[in-house]
Structure 1
Amino acid sequence: MSILPFDHPFLSGLLGDEEIGSLFAAEADIGMMVLFERALAEFQAKAGVIPADAGMAIDRQLADFVADVDDLRAGTARDGVVVPSLVKQLRQAVGDPHASYVHFGATSQDVIDTSLALRLTTAAALLEQRLKQVIEVLAKIEARDGQIETMAHTRMQAAIPVPASRKIASWRNPLVRHRERLAEVVDGIRVLSFGGAAGTFEKLGEKGPVVSALLAKHFGLSQAIPPPHSERDGLTVFASWLSLVTGSLGKTGQDIALMAQNEIGEVKLATGGGSSAMPHKVNPVGAETLVSLARFNATLVAGMHQSLVHENERSGAAWTLEWMLLPQMVIATAASLRTAESLLGSVSFVARA
């Protein structure tokens, strides 16, 4: 049983997202970190930083590497990061005489942050596709119901009649803007982290930027010199974007819940949630979920802004806070987009009598 709703045995049915959640599973993280170490050895060998046979041996021996997760857990509790224990296991797998070349010139943050960048880039692409689908569903609703007259409400009071297209535009337009700005947002997270202990290539010297460029090209990431070890604005901008998306979807959910009230009846839900005590009810569960996820991300984004405060070249406290917050925000956004598409597929506007 999990204390988190996203992978909880039954709450995950409402709030979880297996597709996006899998990107934050231990197996995915370890897999990406091992890929980084293999690629690092390969390109260091090409640049003449380590012997060519060491690069080949590391790649070959780590191709089928399986981590001892219990050991990683114990090591993380001790060291605050997983990489020292992981590197120890990798070196044992490679064996002599090449073990010492594993992780050469890198630091824990290089490995962890590059793994995160790769997985977040994949997540962003999936979110963009879902965002596109929600926008398309809203366009279909507008084409079908846009001319139906509804009542505008300002400050929760009836104002003047407006076409449904006015309501729908307030749901769709922010999503269009979020989608348009996503490419720029992703540029801030699709960044290679590689520079050694303090980001200065102290063990690689003039060959450091060469290896960095090769790694960046290999992984499809941008090269940053020095690496953004303590510069977390890109990740925080992404977190803010996530909260904007869920916030906009939360506004849609709030509107739908209000309009679907029996005494209002401006929209009809083809499907909804049941009640254990009142079987006649069709509860707007999807709409309520959008509101909850919006408020959830709005609370966490403040924490991501706290994680900007790194002491000097690296902060264990700020970095750990980031691990606690950002994956939840990504999964919440994925769940919100999935829920929105399903909810909107059941929504139809009702002509006023």
Structure 2
Amino acid sequence: MSFSPFDHPVLSGLLGDDETARHFSALAEIEAMLDFERALAEAEADQGIIEREAAAAIVAALGTFKPDLAALKAGVGQDGVVVPELVRQLRAAIGKPHDKAVHFGATSQDVIDTGLILRLKPVIAHLDATLSEVTDRLAGVEARFGSRLMMGKTRMQAAIPITVADRVRSWREPLVRHRKRLDEQRGEMLVVQFGGAAGTLEKLGDRAPAVRAALAAKLGLADAPQWHSQRDRLADFASLLSLIAGSLGKFGQDVALMAQAGGEIVLQGGGGSSAMPHKQNPVAAEILVTLARFNATQVSGMHQALVHEQERSGAAWTLEWLILPQMVAAAAASLRQAKALAGQIEAIGT
């Protein structure tokens, strides 16, 4: 049983995206956190913070480490975060004398936030690639049918004749802008989070900047000052996820209305009816509207999560955990459905 329709064994056929879902699994999250701990040990050994023997022991242990998921579940129920129990298990696996070198100078939020960014990196690449594919398919529709005429509608009433190209451009051009926005955000957001207990990296002294830079490099991320309580990058990303879904929702709404009127568009395939076998319902178009409205309602929660009191908030941080993965899934599913829908257009206009 699943609480989320995005990874539901049945509903995910409509609302899910397998490529995105795998990056938000529990195992993917743990793997990203272990990548952080491995890179941290290596970076600290490079800078003389911990012994090289300790780093080697940590890396070796991580190669075979299998977390106790039941203990992690109990630990997060008590501590509010998974990292204390995860670090306890890691230290037990490494054993003395090097166990205390694990996680040195870091805090739970460093591990979890950087783990999120590591997982968002391939997700952003996937979103960008699918945006490109949808844009290309719509350009193909425009190239095939763009010179045909159709009735332009304002306020859902007949206005004046327009070309198919006029309508298709209103679907395609926002997606081109979203790719540019995504590229800009990629540079801003794919940065390491490393601040220690309260953001000062006090245990590392004057070697803190060098350790952080080395950590970022080993993880394939950009270096940046700590951002424990600065959540604007993630809120910006959530806003873009809503824009992507919203623009695709406009595409879906238009197609559904054109299919309803009859004669304006011909779609290949469609959803069947259990009671009316003759029907071909515009399922992909409809679900684009649903997902657009879903992300539009969720984005306000990510803006609520900007309010991180002092140096760390448990409440606002947990709110992000509830909302952001679902918004990513909704945007990815929108792109998947839009790609399919654009490919179903057999004719449009007259």
* 1:187 shift after superposition: 2.3
SS of aligned partner of 2:203: coil
Q: Which residue of 1 aligns with 2:134?
A: 134
Given that 1:151 and 1:161 are in contact with CA atoms closer than 8 Å, whether structure 2 keeps it comes out as: yes
Q: Which residue of 2 aligns with 1:307?
A: 305
- Any gaps of 5 or more consecutive residues in structure 2? none
Aligned partners of 1:217 and 1:43: how far apart in 2? 9
- Identity fraction in percent: 59
Q: Which residue of 2 aligns with 1:209?
A: 209
Given that 2:152 and 2:160 are in contact with CA atoms closer than 8 Å, whether structure 1 keeps it comes out as: yes
* 1:207 shift after superposition: 1.0
SS of aligned partner of 1:150: strand
Q: Which residue of 1 aligns with 2:243?
A: 244
Given that 2:39 and 2:219 are in contact with CA atoms closer than 8 Å, whether structure 1 keeps it comes out as: no
* 1:349 shift after superposition: 3.2
SS of aligned partner of 1:203: helix
SS of aligned partner of 2:291: helix
Aligned partners of 2:126 and 2:165: how far apart in 1? 28
Q: Which residue of 1 aligns with 2:321?
A: 323
What is the TM-score when the length of structure 1 is the normalising length? 0.98
SS of aligned partner of 2:153: strand
* 1:222 shift after superposition: 1.9
Q: 1:351 to 1:177 in 2, by over 3 A?
A: closer
Q: Which residue of 1 aligns with 2:232?
A: 233
Aligned partners of 2:237 and 2:124: how far apart in 1? 9
Aligned partners of 1:237 and 1:182: how far apart in 2? 10
CA root-mean-square deviation:
0.9
* 1:122 shift after superposition: 1.1
Moved over 4 A (4+): none
Q: How many residues align?
A: 350
Given that 1:135 and 1:172 are in contact with CA atoms closer than 8 Å, whether structure 2 keeps it comes out as: yes
Farther off after superposition, 176-185 or 79-88: 176-185
Q: In the alignment, is residue 266 of structure 1 matched against residue 255 of structure 2?
A: no
* 1:220 shift after superposition: 2.1
Q: Which residue of 1 aligns with 2:337?
A: 339
SS of aligned partner of 2:63: coil
SS of aligned partner of 1:260: helix
Q: Show CA shifts across 1:166-217 (max 9, x none).
A: 0000000000000112111122320101120011011111111111010111
What is the TM-score when the length of structure 2 is the normalising length? 0.98
Q: Which residue of 2 aligns with 1:100?
A: 100
Tell me which amino acid in the other structure corresponds to 1:277. A
| 1:182-221 → structure 2 map (5 Å cutoff) | 182-221=182-221
| 1:1-353 → structure 2 map (5 Å cutoff) | 1-225=1-225, 227-261=226-260, 263-352=261-350
Q: Show CA shifts across 1:11-43 (max 9, x none).
A: 111001111100000111100101110111111
Given that 2:67 and 2:89 are in contact with CA atoms closer than 8 Å, whether structure 1 keeps it comes out as: yes
| Structure with the higher fraction of residues in helix conformation | 2
Q: Show CA shifts across 1:104-147 (max 9, x none).
A: 00000000000001111110011000000000000110110111
Given that 2:267 and 2:347 are in contact with CA atoms closer than 8 Å, whether structure 1 keeps it comes out as: no
